[in-house]
Structure 1
Amino acid sequence: MTDIFSELKARDLVALSTDESALSSALAEGPVNFYIGFDPTAPSLHMGNLVQLLFARRLQLAGHNPFMLVGGATGLIGDPRMSGERTLNPREVVEEWVGKIRNQVERFVDFDGAHAAQMANNLDWTGEYSAIDFLREVGKHFSVNRMLAKEAVSARLKSEHGISFTEFSYQLLQGNDFLQLYKRHGVTLQHGGSDQWGNLTSGTDLIRRVEGVSVHAMATPLMTKADGTKFGKTESGTVWLDPELTSPYAFSQFWLNADDRDVMKYLKVFSFRSLEELAALEEEFCAAPHKRSAQKALAQEVTTLVHGEQQTAQAFAAAEALFGSGELAGLEPATLAAATAEVPHATVPASALAAGLPVADAFVEAGIVKSKGEARRAIKEGGAYVNNVKVAAEDRALTTADVLDAGSAGVVVLRRGKKTLGAVRVEG
């Protein structure tokens, strides 16, 4: 056993916990059977879930036994949100999402060896209850007064629309999950985000009432960004772990674009480098922040964890190629398509290039410049590039010979100067 509790605190990963001394001792003596749950309320996990996936990985590497729960039952309801009632998804959709999320979860913990992880689905036990049995065996142990005091419930009760009984009862279901895992597998620790603290403690309270024993809960702080925007969001929306929803290129760019004020905090949470290594990296970063060494290390490590070495290498190669430091033609079509989807672009039919599309027009249509006059000035000053080749003539036109293979469509990469990117996507 390692002193994992102290390391988690040093990484600022412990916002709340039950009896800290008892929990620290239990983790030191180990091994502890612990669990984290994910509800299939979308077809993929997202960046916020990644905090918990890596938290579970840390506990397993420290010698503890993970139980990874996907909520086939709770996913049919959804935990209460501050913003309002959830839309109930059809059962067949939730079942499909359970499978997708299980596949994602399984990549982050080891299912072999002395501390092998196990998967669980709370539909296995929740589906066995009748309404009467559930109310008698579980509901009887919950105080409505305490349920009303939960943060999300309290906020919703004060809102215009209130809260349905369905979402109000969610904490009974999650509390029962902990009880069932305790009975079946000896699980004595649950972790989650601090916004889930009420649901986490519903489980510890239920086990104390039913079994007469004390178990533990830990909550990580919610991730925030220094600029006030929501962590895990970009201009194009949520950053998902599924490469079909957020490409490895876009995923890596999220980390590469991390604010200088946030990057070391992110490294503590998402990197498996030792605290000593992080201290050395921070010293290097502070000495030359313009080199963005911390952001590069963060992007490299986290993208590899989520998408693997090959996709990470392609994502970094695409970034270098787009900015003129690598070969565009050497990129995989899917990577090139994903990378150019993240920059301003225009979509034109192949016939437009067959006739010749003036570069000045293409720069305007792609949103790189505001006018043809500005585009011509950029060409004249030597600051306009097509596929990383400097445009020498003001009357240069794009043709089909300029089109790079980007899978279902072709693409021409445009650049003004060193940093202003755009593209023309060619259909047909």
Structure 2
Amino acid sequence: MSLYADDSKALESHPDWLQTYIDSPEKQKQLYRRTLIIVVISQIFGGAGLAAGITVGALIAQEMLGTDQFAGVPTALFTLGSAVAAYLVGRLSQRFGRRLGLAAGFLTGGIGAIGVVISALSNNILLLFASLLIYGAGTATNLQARYAGTDMASTKQRATAVSISMVSTTFGAVAGPNLVDVMGGFAVSIGVPALAGPFILAAVAFILAGLVLLVFLRPDPLLVANVIEAVKSREKEDLSIVNSNSTQRIERRGFIVGTTLMILTQMVMVGIMTMTPVHMRHHGHGLSEVGMVISIHVAFMYLPSFVTGILVDKIGRTAMAIASGATLLAAGVFAAIAPADSMLFLIIALALLGLGWNFGLICGTALIVDATHPTSRAKTQGTVDVLIALAGATGGALSGMVAAQSSFATLSLAGGFLSLLLLPVVVWSRYKKTNNG
């Protein structure tokens, strides 16, 4: 039986603890703050877990397969796995709450990371691919956790809530790539191939993130938000309309713009990011230098989030969507013209790439939350993240092929110009809004 507001039995009576949240705006604010704290802690661990796949996933495949052409396959696999996980985590969250949905996703990702380590030990490419699919559950959950902070947020707090969650990811995500050499040395000391070292860190990090949510995310913010919304609707004597049409209660224009924005930014970011370590290794850069560039890239993916969230809430979704496209275009151009031996140019390119993605993700997330109703929000968010993950999988899979058949510069320029597709979508949304009054 569902615990949520669209369950008629759940609406007849509320446990005493739940009733206190319904009756007290102050308790609701306290839950909002508490939820953010728990999400922040889990995201610190989760960020460390997702960095492993970004940093050495392509290098493991390159080493096992002996060719660059399929170096993008690991990224494609764990992003494809994250697509399936995003769907399942969204459904689990809608039915049983954020706590169980997010905890299950992180714990599954930890199991996948353990599988990657075992595959490296046994040199088993099929096990590697299967494990990367499962590892994708952790990356999907790390992304979906940003929604938990918005469940109890007001309209003017939503982008800020997302940004706080994402800023906290920075600490783990930046530390992860910089620990490549350290974890590689640790792995070698216990008889594991060096490139598998970061996945040892990922396994521990994802499992800890899952346990933090499972133990401490109480009461469940989505449960409370759904019941509060249901009570408000009943007081307005339109609860039957909410229940019968909850899946239709999506503001289509905002939904389309938000989804398109996040899909395009994910595809561009993953495509260029995936081949950067391979490009650098081909031109004599060591693992520590690769780790530094990727860590700066990840820092710009998450660290500007707090400022980005404020900007999205203050100056508007449209302006930040345009800023995302312009920044990604600049990233593609910088990556294309960067001399292969220039760390500075590569750092600038990857920093811009992370920043453009940051603008797009936070702005798109706010648009999706604005456009959905609490009674169907979690499963809708899960569906959107499926599309984001599939876009990442496509970008990752094609990146190796494009770079192998042409060059890293061509790949970067293609990604930059792809981001320009955001502009007609934004123009269309403004045109529709004007014509609809």
TM-score (norm 2): 0.23
**Normalized per residue, which structure has more strand?**
1
Instruction: Point out which structure has higher relative CO (alpha carbons under 8 A, 6+ apart).
Output: 2
Q: Which has the larger radius of gyration?
A: 1
Structure with the bigger percentage of helix:
2
